[in-house]
Amino acid sequence: MPVDIAQVTSRLADAPSGAVTLTPIAYGWGSPATAGLWRAAVTTPDRGETTYFVKLLRHPRLWPGLVHVPEGELRDFFVRNFPWRFELDMALSGIADVLPPGMRTPILHHHEAFDDDHIGLWWEFVKERPGPWTHDELRRAARLLGRLAARRRAGAEVNERLPETCRIPAGASLRYLVEGRVLHDGRADLADDRLWAHPLVAEALRGTGDVDLREDLRAHFPLVVDVLDELDRLPQTYAHGDASIQNILVCEGEEDFVVIDWGFGSLLAVGFDLGQLLVGSMHAGLVPAADIARIDPVIFDGYLQGLADEGYAVDPDDVRFGYLGSLFVRSVFTALPTAELRGDASDSLRRSVLERVDLTRAMLDLTGPVVRRRLARVDA
């Protein structure tokens, strides 16, 4: 496939094939639809260097991780329905026209199907600014996400442009993720005594003093389905769906954020995007979990301002539950690197386990009280 990508790149740049250099991008992508990433540089004497960011999309039937999806109805549904073309479909839908000032999409120079199972995307190569995000940048990103959510709320005319895959019941894509990753895999992980007795897990729990983490997770696990039901009752919007800092790029030499890798395509509870904006960098080990308490109010206030900017009046309590309830069902029970723990131990895995234990506790302490209060009010 790299040979095909090089050939298309040379044609796109109107340059000889020998002028093309493909450099694989080392990135731990988790999407089943991503088969590879490259920096494609074309160097000619008259034009100098032209650079593209090339992504290869694949059908989920070819995803190596498919072996971890339970065989039968769940796997069949996944292979049949996973929206592996969604990134391309969103670009072609005109989503760039809907973004509020301060956000933009990268330029899609070209796309090409190699066969029924692979599509290549030639994007603008965006040079990110190195270094951590500031709180001002996080607040601004949250405010823009609030504006975007308001513009794409249920019933908005702009939603008529969306790909057909988005026209499914509200919350359906989140429910599907939770049913497999949390209610199936997360339940099995909580029940696995050998996993929790793993030397690296035991070491991390002792080191943090958090010996009650497993039992606290068990106590909250039965609330997952009720939280999903309550999320469906909230005001709904088409969010970004995976708004981590890895997908909202701060670029050198410009003020606008560059938005990539659209996530869930169905309607989601208002506030959903804040969960990944909060913890995406922590999942990647870029920011310590201890920063949750400082970042949370910054992004929540920014998001509320964004909703207000667009004249979308939503009860802040609903936004708060949409944000933290979504984080609860999506991330709290799946943060530990359980697949890696069933393999070979390493120093990097030791660090990862310690970070994820801290992150799991921080997320549970933030979301648990909000979830319990909301469900108690519903039951009253």
What pLDDT score was predicted for residue 161? 92
What pLDDT score was predicted for residue 193? 97
CB 340 within 8 A of CB 268: no
Angle between helices 316-331 and 292-309 (to 10 degrees): 130
Query: Is CATH 3.90.1010.10 the classification given to domain 126-379?
Result: no
What pLDDT score was predicted for residue 29? 59
In b/e form, how buried is each residue of 93-121, taking b as 16+ CB within 10 angstroms? bebeebbbeebebbeebebeeeeeebbbb
CB neighbours (10 Å) of residue 202?
13
Extents of the domains making up the chain: 126-379
Report the Cα 208 to chain-centroid distance in Å. 27
CB 258 within 8 A of CB 104: yes
34: amino acid identity, one letter? T
DSSP reduced 3-state for 167:
coil
CB 256 within 8 A of CB 103: yes
Q: What CA–CA distance (Å, rounded) separates 282 from 276?
A: 9
- Local mean pLDDT, 10-residue blocks, the chain (380 residues): 90 92 82 93 91 96 88 88 93 95 97 96 93 94 98 96 92 92 94 96 96 98 98 97 94 92 93 97 92 97 98 98 98 94 85 96 98 90
Contacts of 196 (CB under 8 A, 6+ apart): 202, 214
CB 57 within 8 A of CB 33: yes
Q: What CA–CA distance (Å, rounded) separates 347 from 353?
A: 10
